[in-house]
Structure 1
Amino acid sequence: MLLNRPIPLSFLLGKIKFEVLAIFVFANVVFVLRHYVGMEILSIPIAIPALVGTCISLLLAFRTNQAYERWWEARVVWGGIVNESRTFIRQLLTFLDDSARLATIPTFARRQMGWCYLLGQTLRGQPTEQLVKTYIPQTEQSGILGSAHGPLAVLQNQAEQLRQIYQNDQLTDIQLAQLDATLTRLTDLMGRCERLKKTVFPRTYTFYLQVFIILFTAMLPFGFVENLFFLEVPLVTLVASAFFLIEKSAIQLQDPFENRPTDTPMTSIAAGIEESLNQLVGSPATIPQVPSSLFYTL
């Protein structure tokens, strides 16, 4: 996630460098043909590109809004994961007696921390073996590493341990039902993340918008009927680049789980959950080190 800090120009323009170069070259070709070859016929009323630009602006506004809604939904889902993870451990602390707390709750907490990290890494397509070895009990590691869906296997292990505690008469029927409801909500939140990950933004909409932007860019150099001379090329490049930059920004926002600076900060959120759960179970509340840069956090 981008932070409220200065963003390097290289990051902003790096995504459109080829488009900017193409615009600059094309604008120079039109400029040379009009002013040095004498092809003054290469001009159109400025109202034409202005009208096209206005239409594209409306489409871009809608496009950016839809992309942001996807990003924001992902952030809301992970906010729910924070709340439900804390609720799960807090319920265990409330329901179990002192002897059961010491024997089982630290295991539940470590497993829940691992689930949060594991879900984030799985959504990003990153390796998870080290996370499993760090947070999951050794007897469960092979089963999770060999499963087709690691995060789901971790939640099932949470449920299995709850069943064992219930069979030992350490939980009542109502308490078990409440804990199972919390695990159900965590499963639902995981499914919402997967829906966002697997639902592709309509490709045709992106393609048509890109075609319109290219059309606008191609018409723009011909619309400067006034003799601005050396200002024409910089102005054309600047105006057209702004449209490409907004469109690229929307593309980055629409996929919040792709291990990019604009991602939902799942690793940072999981680190916050770890700190909270450590506090609840009485473990050292150390703040995990999360890789970050000067202008974004993962």
Structure 2
Amino acid sequence: MVLPQSARLHRMLGYIGWPLALLFLWDLAVTLAYVYLPHPWLNLPVLPMSLLGSALALFLGFRNNNAYNRWWEARTLWGAMVNASRSFAREVYSLIDDRPESRHLRRTLVTRQIAYVHALRCHLRSQKSCEEIDEFLPEDEAEKVRGFNNTPNAILNGSAAMLAEAESKGWIDSYRRIQIESLLVDMSNAQGGMERIKNTPLPREYAYYPTLFVHAFCILLPIGLVDTLTIYTPLASTVVGFMLLAMDRIGADLQDPFANRAHDVPLSSICRTIQIDLEQLIGKPKPATPLKPVGNVLW
């Protein structure tokens, strides 16, 4: 996630990159051709360009709204995961009897939850290996769950089995176990929502046609403006093109909030927050520290 303080003009210009530079060169070429060469082909009416620009802005706004809704839903689901993880750890320590023989189980359930959120992060980012889970799972189980197609779901199923074992040993009654398992259901539902976003991208047309129309409009724009603005055409056309190119790029970057890019939901930071909260709950001497931004980007 790009932090607000990184919103500077030079960074935005670099964000757009070569398309903006090529647009500026094209604007200069059209202006020079109008000034120094015969230009019967440079008589594009201004009014159709205004109508095309309005239609394009509506199209981009519609696409960007849908892309941002996906990004915000992803962030909301991870917010629910943070709350469910804290509640799960709290209820494990509150509802399972505090006995010498049950303390290892309680601690294991909490550390498994840390492994679960890290595995879910890697699962959503399509990262095959997630070394963070090795610290929170036994070595043999860490290798076993990696063999599953859905590693986080395998970890969650193991936690449910451990709760059933605690009930069979009399460390927790059925009512309390169901209360804790309801949180596992909440986490499973949140995971399902995240997987839906990941596995159901916006239609390809949402990415292809806006970019095509933006570039076509940017090519036509100086031709439509040069007869009115003459030498000021590169300035006006480049500014308008900058806004359209930025809108197109932003919408494209927000479509997949789990692509492990600068504009995605900061999964690593959220998982680290969950890890810190749960490690402090179980009394770990040196809990993890919050992640810091790298180049004004929080991962």
TM-score if structure 2 supplies the norm length? 0.92
Q: Letter of the 2:267 partner, please give it.
A: M
**CA–CA distance in structure 1, aligned partners of residues 210 and 216 of structure 2:** 10
Determine if contact 2:118/2:130 at 8 Å carries over to the other structure: no
Distance 2:4 2:144 in 1: 42
Give the distance between the partners of 2:266 and 2:130, measured in 1 at CA.
Answer: 20
Aligned partners of 2:78, 2:254: CA distance in 1, in Å?
A: 16
Hey, what does 1:81 align to over in structure 2? Answer: 81
Quote the residue 1:178 is aligned against: 179
Whether the aligned pair in 2 keeps the contact of 1:115 and 1:151 (CA below 8 Å) is yes
**CA RMSD after TM alignment:** 2.0
CA contact (8 A) 1:132 1:145 kept: no
Q: Is contact 1:261-1:296 (8 Å) kept?
A: yes
**Distance of 1:129 and 1:256 partners within structure 2:** 19
1:136 corresponds to: 137
In the TM superposition, residue 11 of structure 1 has moved relative to its aligned partner by: 4.7
Once residues 154 and 146 of structure 2 are traced to their aligned partners in structure 1, the CA distance between those partners, rounded to angstroms, is 9
SS at match of 1:5: helix
The amino acid that maps onto 2:277 is: S
Q: CA deviation at 1:41?
A: 4.5
Are the aligned partners of 2:124 and 2:195 in contact in 1 as well (CA < 8 Å)?
yes
1:7 alignment counterpart? 7
Q: Distance in 1 between matches of 2:217 and 2:130?
A: 49
CA contact (8 A) 2:45 2:224 kept: yes
Q: How does 1:86-101 map onto structure 2 within 5 Å?
A: 86-99=86-99
The residue aligned with 1:269 is: 270
Residues 101-134 of structure 1: per-residue CA shift (max 9 Å, x gap): 5222111111111111111122112243422211
| 1:38-93 superposed Cα distances (whole Å, 9 cap, x missing partner) | 21541222222111111111112222111111000000000110111111111111
Per mean C-alpha deviation after superposition, the further-off stretch among 7-16 and 66-75 is 7-16
- Provide the rounded CA distance (Å) in 2 between the counterparts of 1:8 and 1:269: 26
1:136 and 1:11, CA in 2 relative to 1: closer, same or farther beyond 3 A?
A: farther
Runs of 5+ unmatched residues, structure 2: none
Matches within 5 A, 1:188-227: 188-226=189-227
Structure 1: 5+ residue runs without aligned partners? none
Indicate conservation of the 8 Å contact 1:63/1:250, yes or no.
Answer: yes
Shift of 1:227: 5.7
Amino acid in structure 1 at the alignment position of 2:200: T
Change (3 A) 1:129 1:57: closer
Contact kept? 2:97, 2:172, Cα under 8 Å:
no
Question: For residues 298 and 292 of structure 2, what CA distance do their matches in structure 1 show?
Answer: 7
Q: Pick closer, same or farther for the CA change 1:227–1:209 going to 2, 3 Å.
A: closer
Over 3 Å counting, the alpha-carbon distance change for 1:143 and 1:24 in structure 2 is same
- Deviation, 1:3, is 1.6
**Higher mean displacement: 254-263 or 37-46:** 37-46
Counterpart in 2 of 1:160? Answer: 161
Q: Secondary structure at the match of 1:260?
A: coil
Q: Which moved more, 1:278-287 or 1:137-146?
A: 278-287
Contact 1:34 1:40 survives alignment (8 Å): no
Q: In 2 relative to 1, CA 178–285 (structure 1 residues): closer, same or farther, beyond 3 Å?
A: farther
- Indicate conservation of the 8 Å contact 1:33/1:39, yes or no: yes
Separation in structure 1 between the aligned mates of residue 95 and residue 71 of structure 2, nearest angstrom: 36
Are residue 108 (structure 1) and residue 79 (structure 2) matched?
Answer: no
Q: Which residue does 1:23 correspond to in 2?
A: 23
Distance 1:3 1:21, change over 3 A: closer
Name whichever of 223-232 and 100-109 sits farther off: 223-232
- Tell me the amino acid that sits aligned with residue 112 of structure 1: Q
Identity %: 30
Contact 1:116 1:270 in 2 (8 A): yes
Which sits farther off after the overlay, 226-235 or 207-216?
A: 226-235
Contact 2:122-2:130 within 8 A present in 1 as well: no
Q: Summarize the Cα distance change of 1:109–1:10 in structure 2 as closer, same or farther, 3 Å threshold.
A: farther
Deviation at 1:225, TM superposition (A): 4.8
